[in-house]
Chain A
Amino acid sequence: QSVLTQPPSVSGAPGQRVTISCTGNTSNIGAGYDVHWYQQLPGTAPRLLIFGNNNRPSGVPDRFSGSKTGTSASLAITGLQAEDEADYYCQSYDVSLSRSRVFGGGTKLTVL
């Protein structure tokens, strides 16, 4: 059972917009700690996709965006492309779990 809750799967057609939610509590996201998102393509290591709730590292297309409100965060992908098919993970920091770094369970994005 992951500390942060994500939907197991989402899907969308090419060109569409999809969102992935990440729900925490008052010990992590709700305590004001940043949410980060990672993309894991099949057979590869995760890579940082969004940091600090809504910032993109260099090289990440602006089709990817993040937001945070209260105890939840969201990742939005617009103009969906086949190459976006991957697993997506949110991550934050939790004060109640001995200063642990916590992840969501991951969401499988399928491009139809």
Chain B
Amino acid sequence: QVQLQESGPGLVKPSQTLSLTCTVSGGSISSTTRGNYYWSWIRQHPAKGLEWIGYIYYSGNTHYSPSLRSRVTISVDTFKNQFSLTVSSVTAADTAMYYCAREDSSGYRFDSWGQGTLVTVSS
């Protein structure tokens, strides 16, 4: 059973860059033996719904939400079995719980989630 764990600073100053890492265990990011997966980031504003940010494939191919594309970068390190998220020029509107998740590419469903990490943007 694959497990995901987010890590990174819980507090970021306005206008700076938010950086988070997701470590995958129990399976390889690069493995396609049991299917093709996209490694994704999703966020949840306080007391709000879920917002998809984007994903990366182990090959490095990425796809981002149109609303965040100009500020978001997702990268992968297959040797460390990790993928990362950066969001530039953050504002208070980027304060949220950030989740990493695995998406089954055959059906666009998120079948494994990390526990989430809260990022607060404040000076």
Which residues from chain A sit less than 8 Å from chain B, CB to CB? 2, 33-34, 36, 38, 44-48, 51-52, 57, 89, 91-93, 97-106
Contacts and interface: CB of A to CB of B under 8 A. Distances in A.
A33 B108 contact: yes
16 contacts: A34-B108, A36-B109, A38-B50, A45-B113, A47-B113, A48-B109, A48-B111, A51-B104, A52-B107, A89-B50, A91-B108, A92-B108, A101-B40, A101-B103, A102-B52, A106-B50
Interface of B: 40, 49-52, 63, 65-66, 99, 103-104, 107-111, 113-116
Contacts of B110: 36, 38, 46, 48, 91, 101
Contacts of A92: 108
Contacts of B116: 45
Given A47-B113, A97-B66, A104 B49 contact: yes
A91 B49 contact: no
A55 to B, nearest CB: 9
Contacts of B107: 34, 36, 51-52
Contacts of A51: 104, 107, 109, 111
Given A91-B50, A103-B50, 14 more contacts: A34-B107, A36-B110, A44-B115, A45-B116, A46-B50, A46-B99, A48-B110, A52-B109, A91-B109, A91-B110, A92-B108, A97-B66, A100-B52, A106-B49
